[in-house]
């Protein structure tokens, strides 16, 4: 009998403690609906959704020197609105001048700061918003070289999260594997690691790819999860969880803000 149990033990999974489950977090939650402000949520309403879904939220305000957050008064108002809610408070910054408009004292009250490269200058200096329909580049390779350079610049700021990581304009979606070459991937991955910036796995755009995540994990990068939704769909993290599992990520690979929530 003992020999039978021994044989079975060799066939069964290891009895060592299982890896901790991936944390159910969404650090890319927007509670403002710019297209229909009447649908915007109050922080307490977002808390109800968070608790119903069993997903911890990180609510992102947006701005820096312009936008909803454009000075210390607007940042303080956001931070005060989040008091008493079991959610993290983050800021998604745009541009590179935001530290001139926001005091270090107020920035330190945030649980994290995120940034992306979706608003960038074109070759003629005009600002382009990469997510808008109709954005097109005659020379995709030249665009990618400039885009990687711009991402490196974004990742060199004092931020904690690289949002919308590896996103490509709609016109280039089908060429993701071709355009995100190993050399380009390695350049942004190494920049993120060097600057202690974690890579967001984004549910809305379903990026980065699993291949990118595996490469980043092997290099020693850290990650987090985000729905990137405004009001509708916040907390839906199906793609981030699925991609994280397929890439072999564990709870140890996932960044969670330091502040303990009630």
pLDDT for 10 equals 35
Q: Are strands 127-129 and 119-121 parallel, antiparallel or unpaired?
A: antiparallel
Complete edge-to-edge strand list for the sheet that includes strand 223-226: 223-226, 198-202, 161-162, 112-115, 88-93, 56-63, 25-30, 229-230
Ordered per-residue pLDDT tens for the chain, 262 residues:
434 333 333 333 333 345 579 999 999 999 998 888 889 999 999 999 999 999 999 999 999 999 999 999 999 999 999 999 999 999 999 999 999 999 999 999 999 999 999 999 999 999 999 999 999 999 999 999 999 999 999 999 999 999 999 999 999 999 999 999 999 999 999 999 999 999 999 999 999 999 999 999 999 999 999 999 999 999 999 999 999 999 999 999 999 999 999 8
pLDDT score for 2: 39
Q: pLDDT tens for residues 37-90?
A: 889 999 999 999 999 999 999 999 999 999 999 999 999 999 999 999 999 999
225 phi and psi angles, rounded to 5 deg: -115, 140
* Cα separation, 5 vs 111, whole angstroms: 51
Distance from C-alpha of 24 to C-alpha of 240, rounded to nearest angstrom: 10
Q: Can you give the pTM of this predicted structure?
A: 0.91
What is the pairing mode between strands 119-121 and 25-30? unpaired
In Å, how far are 18, 147, 201, 224 from 184, measured between CA atoms? 35, 10, 18, 21
Instruction: For the chain, list the domains and their CATH numbers.
Output: 21-253 (3.20.20.140)
pLDDT at 4: 38
Closest by alpha carbon to 27, among 169, 159, 168?
A: 159
């Amino acid at each position: 009998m003992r020999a039978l149990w021994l044989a079975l033990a060799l066939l069964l999974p290891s009895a060592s403690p299982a890896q901790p489950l991936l944390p159910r977090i969404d650090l890319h939650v927007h509670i403002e609906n710019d297209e229909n402000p009447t649908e915007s949520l109050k922080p307490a309403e977002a808390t109800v959704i968070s608790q119903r879904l069993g997903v911890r939220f990180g609510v992102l305000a947006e701005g820096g020197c312009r936008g909803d957050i454009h000075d210390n008064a607007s940042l303080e108002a956001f931070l005060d609105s989040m008091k008493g809610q079991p959610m993290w408070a983050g800021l998604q910054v745009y541009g590179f001048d935001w530290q001139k408009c926001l005091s270090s004292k107020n920035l330190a009250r945030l649980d994290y700061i995120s940034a992306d490269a979706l608003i960038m200058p074109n070759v003629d200096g005009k600002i382009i918003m990469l997510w808008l329909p109709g954005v097109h580049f005659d020379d995709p390779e030249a665009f990618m070289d400039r885009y990687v350079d711009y991402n490196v610049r974004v990742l060199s700021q004092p931020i904690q999260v690289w949002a919308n990581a590896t996103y490509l304009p709609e016109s280039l979606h089908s060429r993701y594997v071709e355009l995100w070459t190993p050399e380009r991937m390695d350049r942004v991955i190494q920049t993120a690691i060097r600057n202690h910036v974690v890579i967001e796995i984004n549910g809305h755009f379903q990026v980065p790819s699993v291949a990118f995540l595996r490469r980043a994990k092997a290099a020693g990068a850290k990650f987090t999860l985000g729905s990137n939704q405004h009001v509708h769909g916040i907390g839906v993290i199906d793609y981030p969880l699925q991609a994280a599992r397929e890439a072999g990520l564990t709870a140890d690979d996932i960044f969670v803000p330091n502040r303990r929530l009630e």
